[in-house]
Structure 1
Amino acid sequence: MTSRRGTSRPRIDWLGSLGDSLREPSDLTRTESAALLIMVAVGFVGHLILSAAQGAGVDDVVFQGILTLCFALPVWRSSIFVGAMLLLTAASVALDAEQEAILALALGCVIVVRCCSAVFQVVYFVAFVGSAVGIRLVLPAQEPASGFVAALVVAVGASIIGLVLRALAARDVQSRRRLLVAEQARGEIAMEERRRIADDLHDVVAHDLTVIAMHARLLGYTTDADERRISQQAIVDSARQALADIRRVVLLVGDTDEGTGRTVYQHGIVAAVADLRDELTAAGYRVTVESTIADETDVDRLVSGTLARIVREAGTNVLKHASGSQTVNIRVSASTTEARVSVWNSLPERPDPIDATRGGYGLVRMGERVLLLGGTFDAAPRDDGWHVEAALPVR
């Protein structure tokens, strides 16, 4: 069941984009231009065939043909179309073709509403109504009331069609702008991340490379067998760890925080837990924290950063789906083989129906991230609440 709140925002956005679009001219799309030219061509040929069959006079054939061809002008400029239609309406009085001109003005409402700015729309509609009323008052015998009513009906119908086309065009423009903004944002994040790659690689392996260099120099100065064996083993261990760290950086180099563009290992688990506790407490949640990690250096930097990202994502889900005064339990532990974090939160008795339609993209990303590092991940209902748990191997 879709809630009323869930459907109001798209409608407001749709009306807002349409209102903004009506203030400025809006060019026809390529598809609309092609369709309009085809209809004008078909209408012009049909007019010639029908006029020949009825034996119409040359003046009528030429005037109505020009009226028909004018509908192709919006492909180049809608303001020219408005001017041409108003001039032809004025000329129709001399040619005794007022009814055809008024009908053409009525049909032209679809073009004016679709393409012109609000100023041109007002000018056009005033001219249309004024011309129709004026001709009706000046030439009542020649122009029956039924023709006047028919022109108004056509104008209203054409305006509605133009408004629908304008709304569709505005929505398409808005979608393309959003895609462009999103693409630019992704490009900026990618550029920023590339600039950080070198620093991240240096930060991760600098210690191990320093150890390797130190013991390599020591091998050149000592002949003691035990010292040489210790240095050789230290070089092997540090080289192995450096390779492992580089592999982790490569796996995570494109894995950034969607909200900030920061690498997932930029902040550690201790700071992330403290920040989440303060944030949830300030929001009215009852938070308990159990942690065996007292310092960021107790856990490998990449592991600590990944766990921090998971904690932040889990906290985001709590704020989204567990509104109200709920209970949140955060547990963090580390051993010689693995580091583990779990976040459990109670759920409201009546969840927001909008939550049922929200995707689990964040959970999927967390699971992928943990699997890349050789760990385990689980997110599922547990104990009348929601439980997220991840475990990662450590050095």
Structure 2
Amino acid sequence: MTYVGDRLRDALRTPWWDYQPLTPLARRFLVILAGVTLVLQSLFRATNVGPESVASAVVTTSITLAVALFAWRPPVGTLVLILVALTAAVTGVTDTLLAGAVPIGIVAFSCSVPLTIGYAIAWAGWLVASIIRPGSGFQPLGGIVISIVGLLSLLIGLAIRQQYERAQKLTLQLEATEREVAEQLRHERDLIADELHDIVAHEITIVALHAAVLERTEDTQTRSTSQTAIREAAVQALTDIRRVLGMVRGEENLTPDRLPSPDGLPGTIAVVTKELEQAGIEVTVDVPDDVRLPSASMVALIRVIRESGTNVLKHATGARHVRIALRVERGWVRLEFSDDSPPARTAGLPTSGYGIMRLQERFRLFGGSFRAARGPQGWVVSASLPLES
């Protein structure tokens, strides 16, 4: 009972001018039906020898035209039906009561509950007036039959409307589910793309650079160092590729909080420092020993360090010194990765700009800032994040 009462209260609070538009097919059918009915009514009046009051003809035609209005504005059609029912009750027209009972269903389907109740009351008043009017000749049994027809029409209209609204609700739920699935797929594709970018842009860059070193030098120690770096980067790339394939097959959970490095921030800095030093670049690290960061901030900063280190190897071949500085102050963590590379000196490796773009998106979502630009002494990457986001 509480559920029914709540539904009834919600229905009564619906704006009375709201309506459920008919489908194009239903509108065409309704217009054709109204046109055929008008033609048949005209033929009946032309061939009928018995008397028919003008009021009865006007009421019948008005009901037909009102039903036709439902093809465009159901509330307007309902208001016309209410006006016709009240006029018929006052003028004593009784032979069109059945014609007034049939549209109750379409009113219940297309119009608001207040308008439906309004027409039902107007039609019921027309029926009662016809029964109690002295000398009307209207039989109570006929009133019962017409009442049953009106009730059936009302129930059919309500049932169709309920099924229609349920279908609309299911359609909206299905669309929302499809959007959610599409968003999840997009998110997973972005995560996989991030992982693949890290592999290609980092390990493969190291392999390419040290392979170029092997071509240019005959120094035994340098060649040994480059061969070791190539072997370690290739093994790491194979390991990462297997992990990404496991993610694609569903063997590993896709989560944005998964750290790209098992050792976290210190391990990432150590790996990047080793790779840069193997390329002949001196690295200065200024990071507090006791730094504690949220997992999301840690992931973002690790990606900045890895991407910046890769970019130095790919695009800053003249760099001799790199500085990595991290500060936590006033609720913010700030990272600066700078080098002293001269302009227009690159390793000649292809670039897509994907890594920088994804970092900018990530920091914007976290409410932080990310900037990579050339300064007076070289490239400077600045990133900052709020500790509480």
With normalisation by structure 2, the TM-score equals 0.52
Cα 1:111–1:149 change in 2 (3 A) is: same
Shift of 1:35: 2.8
Shift of 1:194: 5.5
Hey, what does 1:41 align to over in structure 2? 35
CA contact (8 A) 1:21 1:170 kept: no
Hey, what does 1:120 align to over in structure 2? 115
CA contact (8 A) 1:114 1:166 kept: yes
1:233 and 1:218 mapped to 2: Cα distance?
A: 12
Q: 1:158 and 2:146 equivalent?
A: no
Task: Number of aligned residue pairs: give it.
Answer: 253
Cα deviation 1:24-43 (Å, max 9, x = unaligned): 43222333323322322332
Q: What residue identity is the alignment partner of 1:117?
A: S
1:172 and 1:38 mapped to 2: Cα distance?
A: 27
Q: What is the aligned counterpart of 1:97 among 93, 97, 101? A: 93
Cα deviation 1:16-66 (Å, max 9, x = unaligned): 999967864322233332332232233222222333332464834444223
Structure 1 residues without counterparts, runs of 5 or longer: 1-12, 272-395
CA contact (8 A) 1:113 1:159 kept: yes
1:195 and 1:72 mapped to 2: Cα distance?
A: 54
CA contact (8 A) 1:98 1:135 kept: yes
Q: 1:64 and 2:60 equivalent?
A: yes
CA contact (8 A) 1:17 1:174 kept: no
Cα 1:17–1:226 change in 2 (3 A) is: farther
Q: What is the aligned counterpart of 1:54 among 44, 48, 55? A: 48
**Higher relative helix content:** 1
What aligned pairs does 1:235-246 form with structure 2 within 5 A after superposition?
A: 235=230, 238-239=233-234, 242=237, 245=240
Q: What residue identity is the alignment partner of 1:138?
A: R
1:225 and 1:26 mapped to 2: Cα distance?
A: 84
1:130 and 1:96 mapped to 2: Cα distance?
A: 12
Q: 1:84 and 2:80 equivalent?
A: yes
Shift of 1:213: 5.6
Hey, what does 2:254 align to over in structure 1? 263
Hey, what does 2:321 align to over in structure 1? none
Q: 1:147 and 2:180 equivalent?
A: no
2:24 and 2:12 mapped to 1: Cα distance?
A: 20
Shift of 1:252: 5.6
CA contact (8 A) 2:74 2:110 kept: yes
Hey, what does 1:283 align to over in structure 2? none
2:198 and 2:8 mapped to 1: Cα distance?
A: 51
Hey, what does 1:392 align to over in structure 2? none
Shift of 1:156: 0.9
Pairwise CA RMSD: 4.3
Hey, what does 1:308 align to over in structure 2? none
CA contact (8 A) 1:256 1:263 kept: no
1:68 and 1:256 mapped to 2: Cα distance?
A: 66
Structure 2 residues without counterparts, runs of 5 or longer: 263-389
1:42 and 1:254 mapped to 2: Cα distance?
A: 63
Cα 1:54–1:251 change in 2 (3 A) is: farther
What aligned pairs does 1:156-305 form with structure 2 within 5 A after superposition?
A: 156-193=151-188, 195-205=190-200, 208-209=203-204, 211-212=206-207, 215-216=210-211, 219=214, 223-224=218-219, 228=223, 231-232=226-227, 235=230, 238-239=233-234, 242=237, 245=240, 249=244, 263=254, 267=258
Q: What residue identity is the alignment partner of 1:43?
A: T
What is the aligned-residue identity percentage?
29
CA contact (8 A) 2:85 2:123 kept: no
